[in-house]
Chains A and B, each alone.
Chain A
Amino acid sequence: MPAGVDNLERLEEEACREIAAAASLQALTEVRARYLGKKGSVAEVLRGIGDLAGDQRARIGQLANSAKRRIEMVVSERRRALERGQRDRTLGAERLDITLPGAEEPRAGHLHPVTRVFRDMVEFFTSMGFSIEEGPEVETEYHSFEALNIPKLHPARDEQDTFYVEGGNALRPHTSNVQIRTMTGRTPPFRFIAPGRVYRHDLSPRHYPMFHQIEGFLVDERVTFADLKGVLHAFGRHLMSDDIELRFRANHFPFTEPSAEMDYGCLLCERKGCGICSNSGWIEWGGCGMIHPQVLENCGIDPDRYQGFAFGMGVDRTALLRYGIPDIRLLFEGDLRVLEQV
């Protein structure tokens, strides 16, 4: 075994030790030069093999070259480690106090809860092909009452319920005026919704003089009460929950026949009864029915040919329940601490 072989192995070991100990890129460069440079130790070994026999020379030369490659590899590994360490130190120095609050600009604004619920409702009905119709908020008695088959001496006409304005008109107590205005002079089939603001002369913890309704109408030659149930079931699922339960109760409205009130099963207590549903398990949702033939006739539609359904419900209560707001007044008193929660 020629002396050079031992020598090379020792050299390689030493080099690896020194490379591992190099604490900086600078030190690493120096170590590399010492072993692999033109005047480095490996070169020195190679220079010394000229005296050896041919086959020995070739062998030692081979060994020296592979030692060189291995050292080169260890050096570049060490270089990468040192570079990584240096970047980590730099990044560490750039560390932010991430517990400081985020920038407030731009701060997000907030839609009113009623707007949000309205959008949800309108989205559903427009997707079903209902158009959006609007009407005036100050309305004639004809459009608010008479045309809807509410005779002059009906309890709904009582002054305590309606805001009258000078000149005999009134703030609409429901959005049904839109039904009359939209149907008059048009020929079915049509389907539309009337979302809007309505007013009742009532101020108590459960009532506010202003609130919101959405009504919907579908008139065609064959529209049934069963269809009405179908649309409202689909709407309930969209608006509230896939598991929503609906209940239709007979009731009376002058503008529908048959008429129904609908309730939905309380989602909070799953119909077991709680404070929200007054222990009944059901929450009143709105009124509905098949449009009264007199109303169709008042709008110039032949009730022997066409029939249709109508439904209406409050928007505000849905907003209150959806966001857990306990009192309708909180929606309209403009306290930003309330409105920015939604």
Chain B
Amino acid sequence: MRASLQWLAEFIDLPAEANLVERLTLGGFEDVEITATGPDLSEIRVGRVRECTQHPNADRLSVCKVEFGDGEPVEVVCGAPNVAADQKIAFAAVGTKLPDGTVLKRAKIRGVVSSGMICSSRELELGDDHDGILVLDPDAPLGAPLPEVISGSDRELEVGITPNRGDAASLIGLAREIRALFGGDLRAPETDPPETGPAAADAIRVEIEATDDCYRYVARIVRGVRAGPSPGWLVAKLAASGIRSINNVVDVTNLVLLEFGQPLHAFDLAKLRGGTIKVRRAVAGEKLATLDGEARELSAEDLVIADSERAIALAGVMGGANTEVGDATTDVLIESAHFHPGRVRLAAKRYGIQTEASYRFERGVDRLGVQRAADRAARLIAELAGGEVATGSVVAKGAAPTVTEEIRFPTDRANKLLGTALSKQEMAALLERVGVRCASSDADELVCAIPSHRIDLQLHQDLTEEVARIYGYDRIPVTEPMGLLRGVERPRLWRMAECSRDALVAAGLIECQTLPFLNADWLAALQLDADDPRGRAVRLINPIREEEPLLRTTLLPSILRLVQQNRSRQLGRIEVFELARLFRADGAPSRWGPSLPEESLGLAAAIAEREERGLWEAPTLLPLFFKLKGIAKKLLDQLGYVAWFPSASLPPYLHPGAAAAIEVGGVVVGSIGELHPDVASAFGLDVGCAVMELDLEGLVVLPQQQVRFHKVSRQPSVRRDLAVVVDVEQPAGEVIEAIRKTGGKDLISVELFDRYAGKGIAKGRTSLAFRLVFQRYDRTLRDEEVTKTTDRIVKMLAHRFKGELR
């Protein structure tokens, strides 16, 4: 809601601007702002003429010493006859931008340097008076910006109104609010029209068919008007509220809408057929050309105003072109009505139009203000456009809306809710300020009569808010809550997610968060099996990008695109992870309810092959798979699980020769592997990339490994290194396992420390070097014992793996 401050001042005396803005802001209005509508005078300041002397070289000029707040007083040449010492004046210093856009420069006038200008109202574009300078109030604070001290330039108040406070979307509404916050008396405009014409009821009948959609319809008639341009003051008032002037009749309806918040519509009576106004639902498919030039096909859900033949307005939203008031109009029917908020909103939404009228109807107008607005409009039309107001109104009534007229207000509960200790009298006084009349019943209760415009006040809690709002939220004490002390258990999945983040960050990965939206092509690029549930995704009706209408079922596309984008940013090291919800659309039962998709917390990580950018000492180059396997192992270890990495159940988007499942206790909970080259190229990846996926929800239900102490030995250990040449195809994991078994319980550690093929090793063979550590708890091992065991291992290796010692 926007309105001229001068206009608002017609309704109530206004406090200082800064106060007004602050109290309205704290009192529940959003983005409250006062702006100048006229010329920008913010750089012009209040100055004071300290001395005024005759110019040495010119009879009509004076030389003034002007002070203007900060800085040294300056010397200014002035030609105005009315300038005198001790005046407060509007001063433009050197460098000031004047309303006409020029920037003031220092000038030499008849031999005297003038450092600034004392302004006339014409120079400030406030009026045409050029005979002399603008002399300000002697109390104007020195140095203050001019707009703060003059009322000549109009200023606009703009307030954002919350959806519950439709009653404030008018001049009278704002004035009521200002009265509530600051006190003062309301001055309501005159409403009584001079009824000199024949009875309105003779000219028109009004019928409400849709009685649930229209509570009240008041029609007034003014005959013999001369539709034409509106006077300047009317144009200016509307303009300040952002409404364009149409003609004096329409402008009056808009003016009254702004004054009272009651939307009105003017019909050209001559164009109305059958002398009848009907308030009814539209017939599906019925046509109406609205005033915005659109031909609309109506729905049976729409409420229309009709004459005996056709729809002539979309009720509460916009009038029809067929009954528009124009230059030729002489007789006018003014509609003032109370429509159902939901009905109006539905239509405004359906047709995507919001008008000043629909905005107010949607929020609910004062059910008792309908007549008053019709009267006011008739009076003003007769005043501005001439004509004769028909005697009486035609009034039709529909079903009364449910309203709260009285609330029993338990003041003790209000204090209990707010944490205040206000007396009943204090509360009553606060409520009276917003127009709620209070009577006392028993000790802790007020019986409150709710004014008809405050349809938002329905519960005693609503009155509590009014009390708090007017009292001031800032005056409510600050206390600490009391209650039972209770331990807080973080959900297990939450802790697991947090632990995963820490483990991956410790491994050097960067956490990312990306939008959950998927392109169907990205999903297809993963080449999922037909029965893979991830292939079916929840679809958005209104995606932000048309090409990304799906909710992700897997984090892979997001993370692969992220890798690709960072590649194109020429980053050499890309090691990332993300944790986010995944959405299933395969009808799997959801923990959240039968109609909802199942959601689970997914984790994915990706590491791309690193570009070695001029490191002064190269790190060892290990295939990506093993880097990620190490990270995965550590991660699961941190989470409390022993993981296995079998080469079974591999997803199709991984390299079949460089991938493994992640298995915990026989359950597959994820996978790691290098990306299948086809998938890599589908995502535009020009470097190797390994990915890990972990189903945290699958994991969280599995029992964690208990950390148990095992004793450490005080006996010395014996170390033996063993290099054995086996087939290159031979999985090393099996060899390690076999060594471990053969070594028995004295063999406490087997570590593969080298893998070598090439010179000195036969083709198709590879050398595996192991470090074996033997140790007992009870005694020192003898060399012969260890040798005996290693011999057994060597024999086993030869037998099972065709292993030859190197």
Residues of chain A touching chain B, judged by Cβ–Cβ distance below 8 Å, are 100-101, 104-112, 114-115, 119, 126, 129-132, 134-140, 152-155, 158-159, 163-169, 171, 181, 189, 191, 197, 201, 203, 209-210, 218, 220, 222-227, 229-231, 233-234, 247-252, 257-261, 290, 292-293, 307, 331-337, 339-340
Contact = CB atoms under 8 A, between A and B. Distances in A.
Contact of B508 (A101, A108, A201): A108
Contacts of A165: 538-541, 551, 597
A101 B507 CA distance: 20
B420 interface: yes
Contact of B569 (A111, A259, A335): A335
Contacts of A166: 538-541
A302 to B, nearest CB: 14
A225 B509 contact: no
Given A105-B619, A218-B483, A250 B461 contact: no
Given A129-B488, A334-B562, A110 B505 contact: yes
B489 A131 contact: yes
Interface in B186-202: none
Given A110-B505, A166-B538, A104 B515 contact: no
A111 B569 CA distance: 21
B799 interface: no
A257 B479 contact: no
Given A165-B540, A336-B576, A112 B481 contact: no
12 contacts: A119-B498, A132-B494, A134-B491, A136-B596, A163-B542, A164-B542, A189-B483, A226-B419, A249-B25, A250-B28, A307-B416, A335-B566
Contact of B459 (A209, A250, A260, A293): A293
Contacts of B512: 112, 334, 336, 339
Contact of B26 (A100, A154, A220, A249): A249
A260 B464 contact: no
Contact of B565 (A100, A227, A334): A334
Contacts of B721: none
Contacts of A210: 515-516
B574 interface: yes
Contacts of A108: 505-506, 508
A153 B595 contact: no
Contact-residue size bin, chain B (C-beta under 8 Å from the other chain): 35 or more
B462 A257 contact: yes
Contacts of B581: 137, 197
The secondary structure that dominates the A interface is: mixed
A118 B419 CA distance: 30
Nearest to B502: A111
A253 B306 CA distance: 37
Contacts of B543: 163
Nearest to A291: B461
A97 to B, nearest CB: 10
B590 A136 contact: yes
Given A139-B596, A153-B342, A335-B566, A115 B501 contact: yes
B484 interface: yes
Given A163-B544, A181-B592, A339-B510, 13 more contacts: A109-B508, A134-B494, A137-B599, A139-B596, A153-B346, A189-B484, A229-B478, A233-B478, A247-B474, A252-B162, A257-B459, A258-B418, A258-B464
B510 A130 contact: no
Given A167-B595, A258-B464, A293-B459, A155 B481 contact: no
Nearest to A257: B461
Nearest to B558: A334
Nearest to A334: B562
B163 interface: yes
B504 A109 contact: yes
B476 interface: yes
Given A138-B583, A155-B163, A225 B566 contact: no
Nearest to A200: B544
A258 B414 CA distance: 10
Query: Which interface residue of A168, A251, A290, A336 has the most chain B CB atoms within 10 A?
Result: A336
Contact of B468 (A134, A227, A258): A258
Contact of B511 (A104, A109, A135): A109
Given A226-B476, A251-B162, A231 B491 contact: no
A225 B481 contact: no
The secondary structure that dominates the B interface is: loop
Nearest to B575: A109
Contacts of B569: 335-337
Contacts of B345: 153
B779 interface: no
A106 B469 CA distance: 57
B461 A258 contact: yes
A334 B461 contact: no
Contacts of B504: 109
Contacts of B590: 136
Contacts of A292: 461
Contacts of B546: none
B681 interface: no
B24 to A, nearest CB: 10
A23 to B, nearest CB: 39
Contacts of B540: 163-166, 171
B615 A104 contact: yes
A224 B599 contact: no
B488 A130 contact: yes
Given A230-B479, A252-B28, A110 B510 contact: yes
A203 B506 contact: no
B485 interface: yes
Nearest to A335: B569
Contacts of A220: 481, 483
B734 to A, nearest CB: 30
Given A109-B506, A126-B488, A336 B419 contact: no
Contacts of B462: 257
Contacts of A197: 580-581
B341 interface: yes
A121 to B, nearest CB: 13
B189 to A, nearest CB: 28
Contacts of B112: none
B510 A109 contact: yes
Contact of B574 (A105, A153, A252, A336): A336
B571 interface: yes
A170 to B, nearest CB: 9
A332 B513 contact: yes
A129 B459 CA distance: 32
Contacts of A231: 480-481
Query: Which interface residue of B420, B465, B469, B580 has the most chain A CB atoms within 10 A?
Result: B465
B756 interface: no
A111 B478 contact: no
A201 B544 contact: yes
B593 A252 contact: no
B577 to A, nearest CB: 8
Given A164-B541, A224-B416, A229-B479, A290 B164 contact: no
Interface in B448-489: 459, 461-462, 464-465, 468-469, 473-474, 476-489
A165 B237 CA distance: 46
A189 B485 CA distance: 11
Given A331-B513, A332-B515, A337 B571 contact: yes
B341 A153 contact: yes
A325 to B, nearest CB: 13
Contacts of B571: 336-337
Contacts of B461: 257-258, 290, 292-293
A259 B465 contact: yes
B593 A140 contact: yes
B417 interface: yes
